[in-house]
């Protein structure tokens, strides 16, 4: 909880999305912190390692404006995280990393037909494809991995991705909740 309180309330929502992964709260996310964050929410070693490499190698440079040479420790600077945005996204984060409620509602208006407050696996696929801008291959991969990982980690027992789950990934509170649940379930196992 102390960790959460340390988050500046002026932080934009995209900064909150990633702050969970800044394990020591110094404003910079190193690959080993991304790895630890993925492990803390219950991901396996393989996904956590691949994600840490791709995310940090992919985003580090974009968050270090004006720096000519890559820092080989691949730090991600949270204050510039909005510069790591890619194309073919939902537009729920604006270019400054703020949350745009109308864009969030639009996802469910357009794609949630089976249930108004959740996406089925098929509806999620249509939504991901619907976001694609022509020839924006890097954006396609970015969007596909974000949404598929979210679905695999956070769908409910009926295979639905609930609206409230999607809402809580945007401000990162989903990660806090998953980490708490993981700690509680491993405590129970050891009792």
Q: Provide the binding-site residues for ligand HEM, judged by CB under 6 A.
A: 14, 17-18, 21, 29, 34, 55, 59, 76, 81, 84-86, 89-90, 92-93, 143, 146-147, 149-150, 153, 169
CB of 37 to ligand HEM, least distance (A): 6
Can you tell me which of 24, 152, 184, 185 binds Ca ion, judged by CB under 5 A? 24
CB of 183 to Ca ion, least distance (A): 20
Q: What is the DSSP letter of 25?
A: -
Q: What is the dihedral of CA 152, 155, 157, 163, to 10 degrees?
A: -170
CB of 33 to Ca ion, least distance (A): 5
R_g (Cα) of the chain, nearest Å: 17
Residues 184 and 176: their CA atoms lie apart, in Å, by 12
Residues 41 and 37: their CA atoms lie apart, in Å, by 7
Q: Which candidate, 32, 41, 137, 138, places its Cα nearest to that of 76? A: 32
Q: Which range binds Ca ion by CB under 5 A, 25-33, 57-65, 160-168, 182-190? A: 25-33
Which residues would be at the binding site for Ca ion (CB under 5 A)? Answer: 22, 24, 26, 28
């Amino acid at each position: 909880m102390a960790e959460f309180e340390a988050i500046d309330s002026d932080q934009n929502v995209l900064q909150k999305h990633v702050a969970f992964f800044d394990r020591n709260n110094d404003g910079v996310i190193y690959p080993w912190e991304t790895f630890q964050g993925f492990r803390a929410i219950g991901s396996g070693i393989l996904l956590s390692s691949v994600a840490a490499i791709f995310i940090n190698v992919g985003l580090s440079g974009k968050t270090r404006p004006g720096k000519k040479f890559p820092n080989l420790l691949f730090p991600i600077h949270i204050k510039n995280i909005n510069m790591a945005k890619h194309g073919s996204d939902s537009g729920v984060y604006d270019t400054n990393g703020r949350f745009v409620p109308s864009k969030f509602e639009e996802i469910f208006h357009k794609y949630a037909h089976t249930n108004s407050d959740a996406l089925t696996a098929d509806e999620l696929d249509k939504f991901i494809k619907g976001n694609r801008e022509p020839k924006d291959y890097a954006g396609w991969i970015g969007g596909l991995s974000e949404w598929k990982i979210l679905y695999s980690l956070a769908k409910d027992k009926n295979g639905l991705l609930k609206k409230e789950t999607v809402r809580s990934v945007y401000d990162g509170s989903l990660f806090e909740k998953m980490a708490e649940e993981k700690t509680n379930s491993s405590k129970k196992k050891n009792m």
